[in-house]
Amino acid sequence: MNIHSEKILILDFGSQYTQLIARRVREAHVYCELHPFDMDLEAIREYSPQGIILSGGPKSVYDAEAPAVEEALFDLGIPVLGICYGMQLLARHFGGKVVPAGKREYGHADLMSKSTPGPLFDGFFIDGKSPVWMSHGDHVEKIPDGFEVISQTDNAPVAAIQNVERNLYGVQFHPEVNHTPRGEIIVDTFVRKICRCKGQWTPGKIIEDAVARIREQVGTDKVILGLSGGVDSSVAATLIKRAIGDQLTCVFVDNGLLRLAEGDQVMATFAENMGVKVIRVDAEDRFLQALAGETDPEQKRRIIGNLFIDIFEEEAARIANAIWLAQGTIYPDVIESAGGKTGKAQNIKSHHNVGGLPDYMKLKLLEPLKELFKDEVRAIGEELGLPHQMVWRHPFPGPGLGVRILGEVKKEYADILRQADAIYIEELYTSGYYDKISQAFAVFLPVKSVGVMGDGRTYEYVISLRAVETKDFMTADWSKLPYALLSRISSRIINEVRGVNRVAYDISSKPPSTIEWE
């Protein structure tokens, strides 16, 4: 039995929570994939999942063009769990009635058990009750023949239904979101007890499987990988090194826009400790020259991205017989680039990574993390023995300090920012706050303000500190760091970094601000 031999299929009807369903299934140690709701029945049969989950979605099942699954899906004999829209679809398919609710229900509700809650709720209720998260406009008014109601809330008399004989279940609430405490028990019960999956998807087995697959794919070929020092490329490099040893060469481009001592840390971890072949390219001058005079954020991103590609290509050309390009692409990147049926979000900032390498490079792609969520990548990183600080480091954008120095990028500014940022991050580590927040960094503002130091007047630059808390980086709250900590960071920066006499703290949330300043 391999780790992909048991799997759950999640059909996506466009809910903002669909990825969370997949994460909960993975947490139950079962592999799953997300596919569009109209996946071909033949393809589903061939895929042969142990269970199917129908996600929520923004439409109403009685709309003229409401998305639906192929009718025969329910005759495959595969257990089905419908969530929100998915449950309404299930109910309607079997002859139940779905109507608009008098009042849209959004937020917490107390789910109450019926006298026999049924297999799906095994171990879920405490004293017959449990809080759940609701978000729906429609509800099931009449359940289909052969089904029974297994729970209710004050506003939703039909909060969950089942047909145990046919292994069909529906819940009106969202067990996948964090707002439903213990919701993971329901997903776990569905995949392990109802679908009878044993739970093969564990970090150790994922590594074993990835190593075997890399060996099989690559054979005796050579592989190159652009190492950035971020979690994804670091874990990819470690896995590939384990699989094929010296056939891997990493290229680490120092663009002069990295954090303090970052290049040395990457070399120490990979080249010195792990014996990975890493070519370090010192390209600071080229990047700074290319950026000279440019103040537009999108142009800066483009310049940095394009030059990265040029340099990477130059280095790749030097590595004899490299046939594979390895990338740290992860599952959310795959889902997002496949594009939702509901249309893609507007491009607010052009994010770049090595994924933008041109076709004519003619390298085959090796993407050992492309089935994994970020938390799984981290778990694997830990299992592979990467340092905690590398596995749990905050995200760092491809253009690096280039988008944290507002306006024109200059070496003087980058040096000031690096020092201020290092003090900030060090203080976050020593105070224990680094691991409690999602992302923190300093920003350089190219404006001068007046200050006084000793007996003299100063006229120097401003540093702004940013710290945010977020689950998905699509929305974020600014972190309420303690005043005493902010105060210590501010005085250290002003005392220790020449050229700075003022520190500000960014108290904007996303939206309407973004996390990075450019």
| Catalytic residue set | 84, 174, 176
Phi (first) and psi of residue 123, to 5 degrees: 80, 5
Q: Decide if residue 516 touches ligand XMP (CB under 6 A).
A: yes
**Least distance between ligand XMP and beta carbon 351 (Å):** 4
Of the listed pieces 26-34, 134-142, 168-176, 395-403, which binds ligand XMP according to CB under 6 A? 395-403
State the nearest-atom distance from the C-beta of 421 to ligand XMP, in Å. Answer: 13
Question: What is the Cα–Cα distance from 373 to 471, expressed in whole angstroms?
Answer: 13
Q: How far apart are CA 88 and CA 98, in angstroms?
A: 6
Least distance to ligand XMP from the beta carbon of 21, Å? 23
Q: How far is the CB of 462 from ligand XMP (least distance, A)?
A: 20
Residue 464 found at the interface with ligand XMP (CB under 6 A): no
Near ligand XMP by CB under 6 A, which window of 196-204, 211-219, 339-347, 351-359?
351-359
Q: How many CB atoms lie within 10 A of CB 225?
A: 25
Which is nearer to ligand XMP, 37 or 312 (by Cβ)? 312
**Considering the complex, what minimum distance in angstroms separates the CB of residue 496 from ligand XMP?**
25
Supply the DSSP string of 125-193, one letter for each residue: -BTTEEEEEEEEEEEEEEPPTT-EEEEE-SS-S-SEEEETTTTEEEESS-TTSTTSTTHHHHHHIIIII
Complex with ligand XMP: residue 197 or 401, whichever CB lies closer: 401
Q: In the complex, what is the shortest distance from the CB of residue 225 to ligand XMP, in angstroms, rounded to a whole number? A: 16
Residues 226-265 that bind ligand XMP (CB under 6 A): none
For the sheet with 7-12, list strands across it: 31-36, 7-12, 51-54, 80-83, 168-171, 160-163, 148-152, 97-113, 129-142
CA proximity to 442, closest of 404, 409, 413: 404
473 binds ligand XMP (CB under 6 A): yes
Give the residue with the Cβ less far from ligand XMP, 193 or 349.
349
Q: Strand pairing partners for 97?
A: 142
Site for ligand XMP in 482-511 (CB under 6 A): 510
Phi, psi for 499 (deg, rounded to 5): 105, -5
Which parts of 232-276 are beta strand (E)?
248-254
What residues between 297 and 326 interact with ligand XMP by CB under 6 A? 301
> Nearer Cβ to ligand XMP, position 120 or 463?
463
* Binds ligand XMP by CB under 6 A, chosen from 96, 386, 398, 418: 398
Q: For ligand XMP, which residue of 179, 286, 352, 393 counts as binding (CB under 6 A)? A: 352
Site string for ligand XMP, 402-421 (x = CB under 6 A): --------------------
- Give CA 219 to chain center in angstroms: 31
CB 21 within 8 A of CB 54: no
Binding residue for ligand XMP (CB under 6 A) from 349, 374, 410, 448? 349
Q: C-beta of 403: minimal distance to ligand XMP in Å?
A: 6
Name the nearest CA neighbour of 380 among 246, 245, 209, 198.
Answer: 209
The footprint of ligand XMP on this chain (CB under 6 A) covers a number of residues equal to 16
- What lies within 8 Å, CB to CB, of 63 at 6+ separation is none
Q: What are phi and psi of 12, to 5 degrees?
A: -95, 120
Positions touching ligand XMP (CB under 6 A) are 301, 348-349, 351-353, 395, 397-399, 439, 473, 510, 514-516
